[in-house]
Amino acid sequence: MMKITLLCALGMSTSLLVERMKKVAENREIEATIEAYSADEIDKQLKDSDVILLGPQIRYKKNQLFKKAKNAGVPIDIIDMKAYGATDGKKVLDQALDIIK
């Protein structure tokens, strides 16, 4: 079971996106835990996440968060702005899966 973690400002704005990603994963029979947290929880989330995606609204923290993820050996990326705005669960799930490969 893979764990996909989304980090945003408070962990709230991504909740709809998480639900849509879960539906897509379920339809494709992909075993995944998908959860959203505040960016402040990155240290805790790095311990058991297979991939971390950042909400575009926290891209200003990119250098700090990318450095921590690199040191922990966890792939990280910023969610595509259009996909985030459209809460496109399929596109964001595909982004996460592409990063893991």
The full set of domain ranges for the chain reads 2-100
Choice among 8, 42, 58, 96 that is catalytic: 8
Q: Does the pLDDT of residue 11 top 70, yes or no?
A: no
Q: Does the pLDDT of residue 101 top 90, yes or no?
A: no
* Residue-wise pLDDT tens digits, 74-95: 999 999 999 999 999 999 999 9
Mean pLDDT score, 44-60? 96
The proportion of the chain whose per-residue pLDDT surpasses 90, expressed as a percent, equals 92
User: Cα-Cα-Cα-Cα dihedral of 43, 48, 11, 19, to 10°?
Assistant: 170
The DSSP bridge partners found for residue 8 are 38
CATH C-level class of 2-100: alpha beta
Whether 8 is catalytic is yes
Give this prediction's pTM.
0.94
